[in-house]
């Protein structure tokens, strides 16, 4: 399912989906699985679940992730690099990657709540419209991920908080890890949602996420690096749960990328931090060199 120039052949994918939809389940059943933590005991995960929430932009490029062939080609290049452990995505992207044979021996993390569409009035009522615990178990995936944004002024946050707790319970009942990505947030004067990356806010969000559900035995945290990297040790002291760092937006310039890499490098030394989950900044680097960006991030581990 590849074109002569090494890009994903969308026409071939579409034909398989139209004529042989059962091929997705067959590919999932045949996929070679691995432990969540490999021999390095560190994780390098490529995130690509943004489109399912209507978040298609990368920096100034408003629809960078809207070209599915391009996104899949970038993902396959990233997943093929040494040291990359797996991918985080919604069901449609994971189905494509299964059909492409790109997930053998990789950690597969299913994105679970995508109902909080980017920019919507109901963004914080972030319902679980993606993979369910039973879907992740049935398809032999390795973990789930949920986004938990909390605005003390928005009642929709409470519904998301309660739903998230029940999903954590459902994953734990199946012995499946779940990565919880918590933020305290608020709307600015224009109504846009802004995440608070201060040390106090991140610590509070980690405390809330750690206490969700009937057990935290299978809960991991997906943590943003604070505005001041010096605060990260204090932030991560809030919990004993294993954590991975969220890459977030890093900017298009070489200087911005270098600053991000240094912040990640420092935070990766903390005892509860087990790795990185990075998406757009590696798949769409400012210089266009996906392989170089991924290899640099892997080197930080």
Report how far apart, in Å, the C-alpha atoms of 123 and of each of 20, 66, 161, 243 are. Answer: 35, 20, 13, 25
pLDDT attached to residue 252: 65
pLDDT attached to residue 251: 65
What is residue 43's three-state secondary structure?
Answer: strand
- Rounded (5°) CA angle 215-225-275: 60
Q: Is the distance from CB of 277 to CB of 45 less than 8 angstroms?
A: yes
The single residue listed with the structure tokens 């969540």 is 36
Report how far apart, in Å, the C-alpha atoms of 146 and of each of 25, 178, 222, 223 are. Answer: 23, 7, 9, 12
pLDDT in tens, 142-179: 999 999 999 999 988 999 999 999 999 999 999 999 99
pLDDT in tens, 30-67: 999 999 998 889 999 999 999 999 999 998 889 999 99
| Tokens matching residue 49 | 């679940």
How far apart CA 104 and CA 33 sit, in angstroms, is 7
How far apart CA 78 and CA 45 sit, in angstroms, is 10
Greatest Cα-to-Cα distance within the chain, rounded to the nearest angstrom: 54
281: left (phi over 0), alpha (psi -120 to 50) or beta: alpha
How far apart CA 55 and CA 89 sit, in angstroms, is 13
- Rounded (5°) CA angle 266-287-198: 35
Q: What percent of the chain has pLDDT over 90?
A: 85
How far apart CA 232 and CA 188 sit, in angstroms, is 25
Q: What rounded mean pLDDT belongs to the chain? A: 94
Q: Is the distance from CB of 28 to CB of 98 less than 8 angstroms?
A: yes
**Neighbouring residues of 200: CB distance < 8 A, sequence distance ≥ 6:** none
How far apart CA 112 and CA 131 sit, in angstroms, is 5
Given pLDDT bands bounded at 50, 70 and 90, which one contains residue 254?
A: confident
Q: What percent of the chain has pLDDT over 70?
A: 99
- Helix count and strand count (H, E) for the chain: 11, 9
Q: Which domains does the chain have, with CATH numbers?
A: 22-31+38-299 (3.20.20.70)
Using the 8-state DSSP alphabet, how is residue 245 labeled? E
**Neighbouring residues of 263: CB distance < 8 A, sequence distance ≥ 6:** 225, 229
pLDDT attached to residue 124: 93
How far apart CA 290 and CA 74 sit, in angstroms, is 7
How far apart CA 110 and CA 105 sit, in angstroms, is 16
| Tokens matching residue 260 | 């991000």
Considering Cα of 188, then 278, then 29, then 166, what sign does the dihedral take? Answer: negative
């Amino acid at each position: 399912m590849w074109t002569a120039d090494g890009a994903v052949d969308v026409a071939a994918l579409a034909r398989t989906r139209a004529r042989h939809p059962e091929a997705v389940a067959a590919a999932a059943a045949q996929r070679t699985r691995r432990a969540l933590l490999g021999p390095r005991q560190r994780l390098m995960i490529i995130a690509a679940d943004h489109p399912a929430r209507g978040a298609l932009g990368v920096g100034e490029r408003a629809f960078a992730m809207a070209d599915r062939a391009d996104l899949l080609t970038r993902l396959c290049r990233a997943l093929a690099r040494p040291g990359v452990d797996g991918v985080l995505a919604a069901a449609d992207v994971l189905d494509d990657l299964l059909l492409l044979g790109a997930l053998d021996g990789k950690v597969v993390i299913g994105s679970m709540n995508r109902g909080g569409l980017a920019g919507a009035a109901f963004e914080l009522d972030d319902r679980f419209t993606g993979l369910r615990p039973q879907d992740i178990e049935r398809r032999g995936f390795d973990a789930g991920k949920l986004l938990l944004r909390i605005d003390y002024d928005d009642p929709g946050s409470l519904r998301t908080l309660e739903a998230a707790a029940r999903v954590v319970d459902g994953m734990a009942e199946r012995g499946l890890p779940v990565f919880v990505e918590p933020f305290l947030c608020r709307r600015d004067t224009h109504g846009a949602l802004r995440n608070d990356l201060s040390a106090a806010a991140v610590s509070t969000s980690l405390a809330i996420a750690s206490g969700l559900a009937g057990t935290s035995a299978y809960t991991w945290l997906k943590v943003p690096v604070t505005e001041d990297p010096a605060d990260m040790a204090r932030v991560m002291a809030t919990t004993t749960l294993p954590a991975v760092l969220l890459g977030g937006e890093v900017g298009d310039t070489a200087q911005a990328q270098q600053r991000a890499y240094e912040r990640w490098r420092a935070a990766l030394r903390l005892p509860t931090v087990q790795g990185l989950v990075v998406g757009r900044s590696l798949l769409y680097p400012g210089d266009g060199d996906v392989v170089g960006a991924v290899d640099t991030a892997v080197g930080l581990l």
